[in-house]
Structure 1
C-alpha cells in the first residue's frame, strides 16, 4: 500500500508535535523557595564539578541510544543525605528534558537532588542548583541552622493579589507579586520556621529564631 506524500508529512508532523508536547510536559515544574528545595530533596551538598562525560543508558522505542550526562564532583560538604560520599551526579543530556548544564572546570555549586534506587544522585532543572558564590550569607547559614527547622511548615507562593493563607503553619511567599522574581528578598534572606506554639513564620538572619519574627501575613 502506498501512502500519499501529504499524508506522510501530516503523520510526521503529528508525531513531532506529540513528542515536543511530551518533552515540554516532562520538564514542567513550579518555582520553589530554597527552603522548599532543601526539604524536598534527598541530598543537598556543596560540591566542586571537576569532569563531564556523556554516557549511554539504553535505547528508546525507536532503537536510538539514550544518553545521560555524568558530572564528576568533589564533595565538599553534605548538608542532607545518606552516610556516603557522592562522587558523581547524573542528569538528562538535554535541557528539553530537564537536563542541567554545569561548569565542569572546578566551579563550586550548592546542589540539591534525588537519590535513585541505583544509589546514584540525579538532578534536573526542577532542583535548586546555584553557584556557591551566588548564595547569600543567610542561605549558607540556613543550610545547617534554619531550613530543616521549618520542613514541617508550608510555604505558599503568592502569584497574584489578593493572596492568603489558610493555616497557621503556612508562610506566604510574596517575592513574585512584589519583585516580579522568585529570587527576591524572601528567597535570599528568609526562612519559614516553626515556633513553640506550632505556628510558622518568616525569620530573617542568623540570630536565634525567637528574635526578629515577622507577621505571618505580612512578609
Structure 2
C-alpha cells in the first residue's frame, strides 16, 4: 500500500472515530411530563432573553478551554426558585452536548426550568422544560402557580407501550405516547397529577385550583 493511500485511510479512520465519538456524546433525554419537569427543577421562571455571548468556563483535565453560552435575561415572573431574580442563564455551546438555543432579541417570552447555579444564575440543558410562553396551554400556565407544586409528592409514570400499569397508589400513568403518539398530548397539556387526602394520586383537570383534600376527579 502506498504512503499516500495509507495517509488517506488514516485520515478516514480519524474522521470516523471523531464522528463516532460525537455521536456517543450526543444529547439524549427521556421524556418528562411538564409537572415532573417543574418538580425536578431548582428554578422555574418566565423570562425574555436580551443578549447572548460565548464565555470561557475554565479548562478540562487536558487543559483545553471549556466554552459555555451565557444568556442575559429579564425575568418576568418566578414560579419556583430563590428570593432573588435570575439575571443570567448558562448552557452548553451546542445541542450535541445538550446546549439550548434561545432567541436573544428580547421579543420572545419563555418558560424556563433548570438548575440553580450561584447567585442570580441558573444552568439549562435540552433535557429541561423550556418552551415559548405562548405555546403553553391555559392549564399549564395556571398549574405553574399551584397545581404542579401540589403534585410533587406524586410520581408520573410514562407508558411507552402497552400493557403498562402503576405499581403504587401515589403514581399517575402518563399514556400520551401510546394513546396519541405524542409526548405533548392531553395529559401533558391539560392535566396535573395531584395528591389526594388518602395519600393516593390521580389526574386532575379543572377550571380552578383544586382543594388539597379533593376526592372527585375528571379522568383523562
TM-score above 0.5: yes
State the alpha-carbon separation in 2 of the partners of residues 15 and 191 from structure 1: 45
State the alpha-carbon separation in 1 of the partners of residues 10 and 196 from structure 2: 64
Aligned counterparts, 1:1-219, within 5 A: 5=7, 8-9=10-11, 12-13=14-15, 15-24=17-26, 27-60=27-60, 64-106=64-106, 107-116=108-117, 120-207=121-208, 208-209=210-211, 210=214, 213-214=217-218, 219=220
The CA deviation string for residues 81-102 of structure 1, in whole angstroms up to 9 with x for no partner, is 1111111101111011111011
The CA deviation string for residues 119-169 of structure 1, in whole angstroms up to 9 with x for no partner, is 630000000001111111110110012001000100000111111111110
Q: How many residues align?
A: 213
Query: For the Cα contact (< 8 Å) 2:192–2:204, is it kept in 1?
Result: yes
List, as ranges, runs of 4+ consecutive aligned residues in structure 1 with deviation greater than 2 Å: 4-11, 58-66, 116-120, 205-212
State the alpha-carbon separation in 2 of the partners of residues 77 and 211 from structure 1: 31
CA distance 1:154–1:98, change in 2 (3 Å) = same
State the alpha-carbon separation in 2 of the partners of residues 118 and 62 from structure 1: 29
State the alpha-carbon separation in 2 of the partners of residues 20 and 118 from structure 1: 33
Match of 1:138, SS state, is: helix
TM-score, with normalisation over the residues of structure 2? 0.88
Give unmatched runs, 5+ long, in structure 2: none
Give unmatched runs, 5+ long, in structure 1: none
RMSD across aligned positions (CA): 2.3
Match of 2:31, SS state, is: coil
TM-score, with normalisation over the residues of structure 1? 0.88
Task: Say which is worse superposed, 127-136 or 62-71, in terms of deviation.
Answer: 62-71
